[in-house]
Amino acid sequence: MDQDQPSLIEILRVVREFIDDSKDALPEKDRYHALCCSYLLALAEREVAAGALPGARASEAATTDARRELAVRVRAGECDADWDRTFERVLHDVIEKVRISKPEHLDAMHRRGR
């Protein structure tokens, strides 16, 4: 499933940068933990950059292309004749994105059973 910006590696990096910038303001006892978090996130960044998720990368590119093509077609009015199906497809994709970002944002009709 293709997500919006930022990328996974960018999310890892921004969290690490935030921790790096704020660790000096933390109480002594937490500073070491912050250094460890930073270390772990830097490790995870490298691992992702090295292609730890190769399958995800290939399918990501394909989804991005499909999404881009759909966006262009909808704007050009080429999906007007097939509006309801287009709408359902777009809603389905958005629901999948929300499941990653904030699942509790979904209405009860789209929540998965526990």
User: Which residue number, 53 or 86, has a Cβ lying nearer to other proteins?
Assistant: 86
Q: By CB under 8 A, name the binding residues for other proteins.
A: 3-7, 10-11, 14-15, 17-18, 64, 67-68, 70-72, 74-75, 77, 79-80, 86-87, 89-91, 93-95, 97-98, 100-102, 105-107, 109
Single-letter code of the amino acid located at 101: S
Instruction: Please count the CA atoms within 13 angstroms of the CA of 15 that sit on its side-chain side.
Output: 18
Report, in Å, the least distance between residue 55 CB and other proteins.
21
For residues 34 and 19, the answer to whether their CB atoms sit within 8 Å is yes
User: Which residue number, 53 or 90, has a Cβ lying nearer to other proteins?
Assistant: 90
Report, in Å, the least distance between residue 18 CB and other proteins.
5
User: Which residue number, 28 or 107, has a Cβ lying nearer to other proteins?
Assistant: 107
Report, in Å, the least distance between residue 12 CB and other proteins.
11
Q: How far is CA 101 from CA 43, 96, 97, in A?
A: 23, 9, 6
